[in-house]
C-alpha cells in the first residue's frame, strides 16, 4: 500500500456555530472531534496528517490538539488566508490548494468538525490504492441535525461510480429526500494530479464569480472534472452514523455520543495514552 496522508480542513469560521468549533472539547478528557478522526486514521494506516488552519488560531490549535497529535503521527501545517475583501476564506477548493507543497502521494481530506467513524477511515484508506479518486458516501438520514437545516453534497451513483454531486442547502428530515440518498461529507480520496486542475479552475472561478462572497468548493471542482472526463470517483458506501457540530446546540449531543462510544470500548477513555 502506498503511503497515505490525511488532510484535515480546520480553517473554517463556524458562523452558524458561533465560535471556533474545531477546538470545542467533546471527549471525556477534553478531546476535540479531530482527535478522534486522527486516531481512527492512524488505526486505518495513514502515515501523515496535514492540518489546514488560519494563522490566527495557530497557537490555540497546537496547544489544544496539534502538539498532542504530533507525538503519534508525522504532522505538518499549512495556512489558508482570508483576503481583505472577504469575511471568510475562499472555500474548500482553495484550502486544498494550500497543501500542494507538502503532498507527494495519495491523500484523503476531511472536515475538522465532523465525526466520520472508524469504518469510514478504513474505506477511504483502501480507496487511496485505487487508480481512481474515491469518496465515502453516507445515507442522508444518518447525517442530519436535529437543530436546523444542513448543507450536503447530494450524489447520484451508477455502478459504484459518482455521476453527479449537487450542493444542497437547508436539508431537514422533511425535505423530501429518501433516507438512503447518498451524500458526501467531504471525505474524499485524491491524487496529486488534482492540483493543476484546482489551480486552473480557481483562476477561472475568480474571473466569473462574486469574489467577495462566493465559495470555491472541492465537490464542485471534482464534479466538473468528472463531467469533463478528467477523473472517475469510486463511491464507497457506509451505513455509519455521521455527527458533527453545525449548530451550538449540537455540542451536547456530540458529547453524549462520544461518551457512549467510549463507554462501549470503541475508544479508550484516554485517547492518546
Q: DSSP letter at 134? A: E
Euclidean distance between CA atoms 15 and 13, whole angstroms: 6
CA atoms within 13 A on the CB side of 204: 9
Q: Which helix (H) or strand (E) holds 201?
A: helix 194-208
Rg of the chain over all Cα atoms, to the nearest angstrom:
18
Euclidean distance between CA atoms 23 and 17, whole angstroms: 12
Answer left, alpha or beta for residue 116, where phi above 0 means left and psi between -120 and 50 means alpha: alpha
Question: Per the confidence metrics, is the pTM higher than 0.85?
Answer: yes
Euclidean distance between CA atoms 127 and 136, whole angstroms: 9
Kindly report the CATH number that applies to the domain delimited by 5-263: 3.90.550.10
Query: Can you give the pLDDT of all 273 residues of the chain as single tens digits?
Result: 568 999 999 986 544 433 567 788 999 888 999 999 999 999 999 999 999 999 988 998 999 999 999 999 999 999 999 999 998 899 999 999 999 999 999 999 999 989 999 999 999 999 999 999 999 999 999 999 888 888 899 999 999 999 999 989 999 989 999 999 999 999 999 999 999 999 999 999 999 999 999 999 999 999 999 999 999 999 999 988 899 887 778 888 999 999 999 999 999 999 997
User: What is the reported pLDDT for 16?
Assistant: 41
Q: Residue 15: count other Cβ atoms within 10 Å of its Cβ.
A: 9
- Strand blocks (E) in 11-160: 48-53, 74-79, 107-111, 114-115, 133-139, 150-158
Q: Residue 149: helix, strand or coil by DSSP?
A: coil
User: What is the reported pLDDT for 15?
Assistant: 41
Angle of helix 218-227 relative to helix 194-208, nearest 10 degrees?
110
User: What is the reported pLDDT for 273?
Assistant: 78
User: What is the reported pLDDT for 147?
Assistant: 81
Tell me the CA end-to-end span of the chain in Å, nearest whole number: 28
Amino acid at each position: 500500500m502506498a503511503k497515505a496522508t490525511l488532510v484535515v480542513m480546520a480553517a473554517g469560521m463556524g458562523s452558524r456555530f458561533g465560535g471556533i468549533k474545531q477546538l470545542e472539547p467533546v471527549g471525556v478528557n477534553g478531546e476535540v472531534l479531530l482527535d478522534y478522526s486522527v486516531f481512527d486514521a492512524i488505526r486505518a494506516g495513514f502515515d501523515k496528517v496535514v492540518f489546514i488552519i488560519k494563522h490566527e488560531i495557530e497557537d490555540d490549535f497546537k496547544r489544544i490538539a496539534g502538539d498532542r497529535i504530533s507525538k503519534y503521527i508525522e504532522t505538518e501545517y499549512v495556512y489558508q488566508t482570508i483576503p481583505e475583501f472577504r469575511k471568510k476564506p475562499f472555500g474548500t477548493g482553495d484550502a486544498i490548494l494550500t497543501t500542494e507543497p507538502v503532498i507527494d502521494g495519495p491523500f484523503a481530506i476531511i472536515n475538522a468538525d465532523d465525526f466520520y467513524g472508524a469504518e469510514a477511515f478504513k474505506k477511504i484508506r483502501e480507496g487511496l490504492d485505487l487508480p481512481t479518486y474515491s469518496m465515502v458516501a453516507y445515507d442522508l438520514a444518518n447525517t442530519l441535525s436535529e437543530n436546523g437545516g444542513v448543507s450536503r453534497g447530494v450524489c447520484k451513483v451508477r455502478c459504484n461510480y459518482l455521476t453527479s454531486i449537487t450542493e444542497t442547502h437547508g436539508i431537514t428530515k422533511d425535505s423530501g429526500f429518501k433516507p438512503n440518498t447518498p451524500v458526501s461529507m467531504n471525505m474524499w480520496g485524491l491524487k496529486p494530479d488534482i492540483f493543476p486542475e484546482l489551480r486552473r479552475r480557481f483562476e477561472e472561478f475568480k474571473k466569473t464569480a462574486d469574489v467577495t462572497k462566493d465559495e470555491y468548493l472541492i465537490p464542485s471542482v471534482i464534479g466538473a472534472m468528472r463531467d469533463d472526463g478528467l477523473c472517475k470517483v469510486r463511491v464507497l458506501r457506509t451505513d455509519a452514523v455521521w455527527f458533527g457540530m453545525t449548530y451550538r446546540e449540537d455540542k451536547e449531543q456530540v458529547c453524549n455520543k462520544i461518551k457512549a462510544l467510549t463507554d462501549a470500548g470503541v475508544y479508550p477513555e484516554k485517547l492518546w495514552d
